[in-house]
Amino acid sequence: MIDVRLLRTDLAAVRTAQARRGKPDVLAQIDAAVALDTKLRDLTAERDALRARVNDLSKQVGGLRKAGKSDEAEAVMNESRALGETERQLQVDFDGLQAQLRDVMLRIPNTPHVDAPDGGSDADNPVIKGPVNMPASFGEHQRIPHWETATALGILDNERATKIAGAMFTMQRGLGATLARALCQFALDQNADAFEEIRPPSLVTTATLTATGHLPKFADDAFAIERDDLWTIPTAEVPLTSLYAGEVLDEAQLPARLMAYTPCYRREAGSAGRDTRGMLRAHEFDKVEILAIATPEQSPTLLQELVARAEALIAALELPYRIIEICTGDMGGSHHRSFDLEVYAPGCDAWLEVSSVSWFSDYQARRADIRFKRHGQKGTEIANTLNGSALAVPRVWAAICENHRQPDGSVRIPEVLRPYMRGATSIASK
């Protein structure tokens, strides 16, 4: 969340920055937070004054009793008890207002970076690189949607996946399953030079999902296990971000670089009938995430590094791609600055988002209470977090089936994946 102190010291700047998102409800939320914060501070002053008065009366009682003035001492005691009851009610009111303020603050998005492009929707996202690896033209054999190719090759069986689990679940078979696993292992191996591999839990607490900004706003998109107050993770970003929740790191430990392969679970609320064929959109999919916890000074360079690492993976798979920067009107609520990598799929005739790389400034770390201590300085500071999809399987898998489809209907396996494919160099009909 943003720092509530900014609403007191630089409200105009906060409103100006948030206005760039083009969402009037955000400004209304800011106004509500300011009103609650004002009430809370007024109540705090009233409560503290009352406590001071009670303390003063307690001292008077002691003096009066020593002086043998029992009646006067009892009267003062009665006043103190009455004020004590008022103080307890003020504390109840304080706790209620504090909870209301936190709820509003949790819903206010991050402030966009000054260099983030202005815009109202995804139509305004500028292409900052590419297209790269885009051929002058595609063959007719590449214009076949991946779900047709994959079904014909026997490597995608969504019909049985639906029988097992319901709509919007997918299932790869044979070399299709091997290809999915190969993509994940390739992404892990390519980032192992600098990132510690973690295998986090796939179920997390409400607090953990709240820390990244997925709650309360995106509760409808998450799968909840209400009996145990647990949630399935929509991305490894969620458990990795909270790895150091509530801790104070030494500056020398930063940047902390983490990566994880996990299954990811998303309801995809509101997406029924949209991009649900093949591998484009599903309730469950595999992904490798890379994440960094850093100082504010380290973050801009790390952001570019994460983008470069995601790009290197897509380039190595010999896929046509481009990089776009997300404009303020399309930016996620937690994001400070964000870039997407998109791959062109000739069979779908569409650019598919395959990676999102984002800098969250101190927004997530404040929610998770991740701090660091600078050498030789007193106190602590809120850290910064960044993350990126090193490789999300479904759309990359689909793009390989379309871009690398051969005239005979087989799919050529990119060179970099062959060491993981048990000797297979292509996927062909049996």
CA distance 326 to 132: 19
- One domain, residues 184 and 62: no
Residue 345 pairs in a beta bridge with: 350
Burial class of residue 313, CB neighbours in 10 A (0-12, 13-18, 19+)? buried
- One domain, residues 205 and 146: yes
Q: Tokens 């790390």 label which residue? A: 302
Tokens found for residue 154:
């026997």
Of 32-36, 70-74, 397-401, least confident by mean pLDDT is: 70-74
User: Looking at the domain assignment, is residue 117 inside a domain?
Assistant: no
- One domain, residues 30 and 62: yes
User: Looking at the domain assignment, is residue 114 inside a domain?
Assistant: no
User: Looking at the domain assignment, is residue 371 inside a domain?
Assistant: yes
- One domain, residues 81 and 126: no
Which of 414, 393, 401, 421 has its CA nearest to residue 141?
401
- One domain, residues 12 and 80: yes
CB 324 within 8 A of CB 337: no
- One domain, residues 166 and 300: yes
- One domain, residues 149 and 228: yes
Residue type, 361: S
- Runs of H (alpha helix) within 261-336: 299-316
Q: Give tens-digit pLDDT for 100-131.
A: 999 999 999 999 999 999 999 999 999 999 99
Please determine, for residue 137, whether its predicted confidence score (pLDDT) is greater than 60.
yes
- One domain, residues 98 and 46: yes
Sign of CA dihedral 364, 367, 369, 373: positive
Last residue of a domain, one of 82, 107, 132: 107
User: Looking at the domain assignment, is residue 113 inside a domain?
Assistant: no
- One domain, residues 132 and 221: yes
Q: Give tens-digit pLDDT for 368-404.
A: 999 999 999 999 999 999 999 999 999 999 999 999 9
User: Looking at the domain assignment, is residue 409 inside a domain?
Assistant: yes
CB 31 within 8 A of CB 18: no
- One domain, residues 277 and 413: yes
pLDDT value, residue 172:
97
pLDDT value, residue 387:
98
Residue type, 63: G
User: Looking at the domain assignment, is residue 116 inside a domain?
Assistant: no
Mean pLDDT of the chain: 95
Q: What integer is the mean pLDDT of 217-244?
A: 95
CA distance 425 to 155: 15
User: Looking at the domain assignment, is residue 201 inside a domain?
Assistant: yes
Please determine, for residue 427, whether its predicted confidence score (pLDDT) is greater than 80.
yes
Of 84-88, 158-162, 250-254, 329-333, least confident by mean pLDDT is: 84-88
- One domain, residues 162 and 225: yes
Sign of CA dihedral 116, 117, 120, 123: negative
Please determine, for residue 93, whether its predicted confidence score (pLDDT) is greater than 70.
yes
pLDDT value, residue 72:
82
Q: What is the CATH number of the domain that holds 58?
A: 1.10.287.40
Q: What is the CATH number of the domain that holds 176?
A: 3.30.930.10
Please determine, for residue 213, whether its predicted confidence score (pLDDT) is greater than 60.
yes
CA distance 212 to 382: 14
Last residue of a domain, one of 107, 131, 148: 107
Instruction: Say what percent of the chain tops pLDDT 90.
Output: 86
Q: Give tens-digit pLDDT for 262-272.
A: 999 999 865 55
* Global pTM value: 0.92
Number of structural domains the chain divides into? 2
- Note down the domain range covering 67: 5-107
Q: What integer is the mean pLDDT of 94-99?
A: 94
- Runs of H (alpha helix) within 10-109: 11-19, 24-66, 70-107
CB 37 within 8 A of CB 30: no
Q: Tokens 């973690």 label which residue? A: 198
Last residue of a domain, one of 107, 139, 162: 107
User: Looking at the domain assignment, is residue 252 inside a domain?
Assistant: yes
CB 214 within 8 A of CB 234: yes
- One domain, residues 194 and 250: yes
